[in-house]
Structure 1
Amino acid sequence: MKKYIWICLGLAFTLQACKKDKIETDPIIPTDPVETAPVTGDTQPSSQHIVYRTLNMKVGYNKNIFLDANADGSTDISFSSVLIMRDGKQHLYLSAYGKTSSGNKLFVKKGDGLVNGSLWAYPFAKDERIEPTDANQVTLTAPQQKASILSVISTGSQTSVDGLWANKTDKYLGFAIKMNGEPHFGWIKLSHDAATNEIVVSEYAYNKLPGEDIIAGEK
Structure 2
Amino acid sequence: MLKKYFLLLSLLAFISCKKSAVNPAPDEPPFTDPEMTYIDLTGKSVAMDQSLSIDFDKNGKFDILFMTERRAYDGNTKSADVFMVYNGLACNLATNMANETTPDLQKGNKISRADLPNHEWYPVLGFTLMQKVSTATQTYWEGSWKDKDHRYLPLELIINGQTHRGWIELFADTNSGKIVFYRAAISKTPQTKIRAGF
TM-score by length of 2: 0.74
Pairwise CA RMSD: 2.1
Aligned to 1:107: 94
- The structure 1 residue matched to 2:121, chosen from 115, 140, 144, is 140
Cα offset for 1:147? 2.3
Aligned to 2:53: 66
Local SS of the residue matching 2:194: coil
Aligned to 1:165: 145
Local SS of the residue matching 1:122: coil
**CA-to-aligned-CA distance 1:138-178 (integer Å, 9 cap, x gap):** 3323x432122112211146321111211210000001111
Aligned to 2:64: 77
Aligned to 2:84: 95
Unaligned runs of 5+ in 1: 1-46, 113-118
Aligned to 2:104: 123
- The structure whose Rg is larger is 2
Distance 1:133 1:94 in 2: 29
- The structure 2 residue matched to 1:51, chosen from 37, 40, 61, is 37
Unaligned runs of 5+ in 2: 1-32
Residues 1:178 and 2:138 aligned together:
no
Cα offset for 1:133? 5.0
Higher-helix-fraction structure: 1
% identity of equivalent residues: 25
**CA-to-aligned-CA distance 1:103-123 (integer Å, 9 cap, x gap):** 3111233324xxxxxx32210
Query: Does the CA contact (< 8 Å) of 1:78 and 1:97 recur in 2?
Result: yes
Distance 1:48 1:195 in 2: 36
TM-score by length of 1: 0.67
Change (3 A) 1:83 1:212: same
Aligned to 1:152: 132
Distance 2:183 2:173 in 1: 15
Higher relative contact order (CA 8 A, sep 6+): 2
